[in-house]
Amino acid sequence: MAVTNNVTRFLDARKVNYTAHELPAEKLGALEAAQVLGAPAEQVFKTIVTKRERGKPVLAVIPGPRVVDLKALAAFPGEKKMHLPTEREAEQLTGLQAGGISPLALINKGFQVVIDSAAQSLDEIFISGGQRGLNIRLSPADLAHLTNARFASICQKT
């Protein structure tokens, strides 16, 4: 049986179609998670915590192999600059461990969520389930709806 936590209970309560996947409990990057899941790396998304000058951080949900474009991300919510916090700062800002930061675990906590537009071309994506060792596969449209996210082109060209 898959892990049950606040995220899976939230998805069940909303009758969202998803699949929970258990992974090793140590911190895995998106590319390592893709290997364990047997999924294409472009389908496994990671959540990057970014800081604004003032206000709550913005969660950038991007494909595993990509890097967030801070200028593009800053332009989206009308900020001048965005900054990447240290891993420890990201954990303090979210209350979640790195490797387990998920927009689904931070609903109603005041975080703005921006999903890279690459997700819109996929039927399903994998994201963290709010703790290390748990990934959730669901549709990008469901993720956007549940988190009040917007789609935007927020990755650097590689």
Residue type for position 94:
T
Full set of structural domains in the chain with CATH: 6-152 (3.90.960.10)
Q: Which two tokens stand for residue 137?
A: 């596969």
Q: Which two tokens stand for residue 125?
A: 């994506």
Q: Rounded to two decimals, what is the model's pTM?
A: 0.94
Nearest partner of 2 among 157, 153, 152, 134, judged by Cα: 134
| pLDDT for 18 | 96
Q: Token match 């309560």: residue?
A: 13
What residues are paired with 127 via a beta bridge?
Answer: 136
Residue type for position 43:
Q
What letter does residue 84 receive in the DSSP assignment? Answer: P
Helix, strand, coil in percent for the chain, rounding step 5: 30, 25, 45
Whether 73 and 50 have beta carbons less than 8 Å apart is answered as: yes
Over range 74-85, report the average pLDDT: 89
Q: Which two tokens stand for residue 23?
A: 């992974």
Q: Quick: pLDDT tens for 88-144.
A: 999 999 999 998 999 999 999 999 999 999 999 999 999 999 998 999 999 999 999
SS3 119: helix
Q: Token match 């290390």: residue?
A: 132
| pLDDT for 1 | 46
